[in-house]
Amino acid sequence: MNRRDFLKKSSVAAAAGIMATYGLKPTRAQAAQTYYMVSFLSGIDYWKDAYRGMQDAAEFLGVEAVYTGTPEYDLTSEVRVLDETVAQQPTGVLLTVMQAEGLQPSIDAAIGAGVPLVTFDADSPASKRYAFLGTGNYYAGVVAARYIGPLVQAGKAAVITVPSQNNLGQRTQGFIDTLAAEFPDVVSGNQFIVDNQNTSEGAATGLSALLQAEPDIKGVFSTNASAAVGAAQALREAGLTEQVNHIGFDFDEGTLDLIDSGQLGATLAQGTWQMGFWGMLFLYMVANTKIESVSDWQAAGISPLPPNVDTGVVVINKDNSRFWRTS
């Protein structure tokens, strides 16, 4: 059984158990209930696992799940898509946030219009969203540092990231802080940060330039999937694959191939399927007034859902990469 099959069976069973405990039964004839997942860079593979989780939950609940978003890495475009989606009066929205402050007015407007909205993967914490499901990004950076630190021991460590993206910034800070606290002979900081602008080409070009300027780079943390691919290319072209320890973030079949071929030491896998599955359950429970924490949570002015759910990370390396294959 591969990872996705195991997650689906175990999470569906857990959801069924939770709902049975409270006397709740999913209804199979709710075609009128339509829930949307809204993303940015909507064509990348990363979102597929999250949407698969949402679809699995929707199938269990007997409702419809729809995927939409903007193909661009552009705040204005994501705001437009979210506003257009909310205008269709969906039953609920599962949203990943490109930029926290920029999406906040639209998120708050959705809640004000009575549309349940939960964020996943990247949050807008000051908004009125009901809950956020995603990786504890700062701690994910801690995990990356604890992987790189013992391997590098002494030298410099670079970070390939998008500094303006909140979740990636948190990963970067966790990495830098942990190296400073636990591995003081490994030097990292803002001077060794490469902005890959969410493209593998940007990562390859930026890291290549940094390696020439800083020959003591002995470790690399790529905080997103495209960064890992581009950084691996830069190390390969410089002939430094075996000399520079590299941990990435996220995975697909191509990333697993890089690990198996020795071109990437490891990567951190997020619980993306869990984000989609439990995010869909959260929306359903709010939309169908199944929250019973108090007699009337709206009148009481309390959130009906846990505000933050950490879906965790797992280190994938050569020893366990086969379990993450889709087949």
Kindly give the confidence (pLDDT) of every residue in the chain, 327 residues in length, as a single tens digit, with 9 standing for 90 and above: 544 554 455 555 455 555 554 455 555 545 589 999 999 999 988 899 899 999 999 999 999 999 999 999 999 999 999 999 999 999 999 999 999 999 999 999 999 999 999 999 989 999 999 999 999 999 999 999 999 999 999 999 999 999 988 889 999 999 999 999 999 999 999 999 999 988 999 999 999 999 999 999 999 999 988 899 999 999 999 999 999 999 999 888 888 999 999 999 999 999 999 999 999 999 999 999 888 888 888 888 888 999 999 998 999 999 999 988 865
For residues 260 and 276, membership in a common domain is answered with: no
Whether residues 105 and 54 share a domain: the answer is: yes
Where residue 74 sits, what CATH number does that domain have? 3.40.50.2300
226 and 173 part of one domain: yes
Inside any domain, residue 198: yes
Q: C-alpha 229: how far from its chain's center?
A: 17
* Residue span of the structural domain in which 91 resides: 3-135+271-311
> What residue has token string 């303006």?
164
Q: For residues 259 and 280, state if they share a domain.
A: no
Asked if the structure places residue 57 within a domain, the reply is: yes
Residue 37, in any domain of the structure = yes
Residues 16 and 88 in one domain: yes
| Residues 72 and 144 reside in one and the same domain | no
Task: Give the Cα-Cα-Cα angle 235, 237, 243 (nearest 5 degrees).
Answer: 40
Same domain? 199 vs 264: yes
Residues 66 and 103 reside in one and the same domain:
yes
Identify the bridge partners of residue 134 per DSSP, sorted by sequence position: 310
Handedness of CA 85, 164, 48, 288 (dihedral sign): negative
Residue 206 token pair: 């930026």
pTM: 0.71
Q: 71 and 7 share a domain? A: yes
Question: CB 288: neighbour CB atoms within 10 A?
Answer: 18
Question: Looking at the domain assignment, is residue 326 inside a domain?
Answer: no
* Residue 327 located in a structural domain: no
CA–CA separation, 318 and 119 (whole Å): 32
Last residue of a domain, one of 270, 303, 322: 270
* Number of structural domains in the chain: 2
What does the alpha-carbon distance between residue 135 and residue 308 come to, in Å, rounded to a whole number? 10
| Same domain flag for 79 and 175 | no
Cα–Cα–Cα angle for 212, 223, 101, rounded to 5 degrees: 120
Q: Are residues 173 and 218 in the same domain?
A: yes
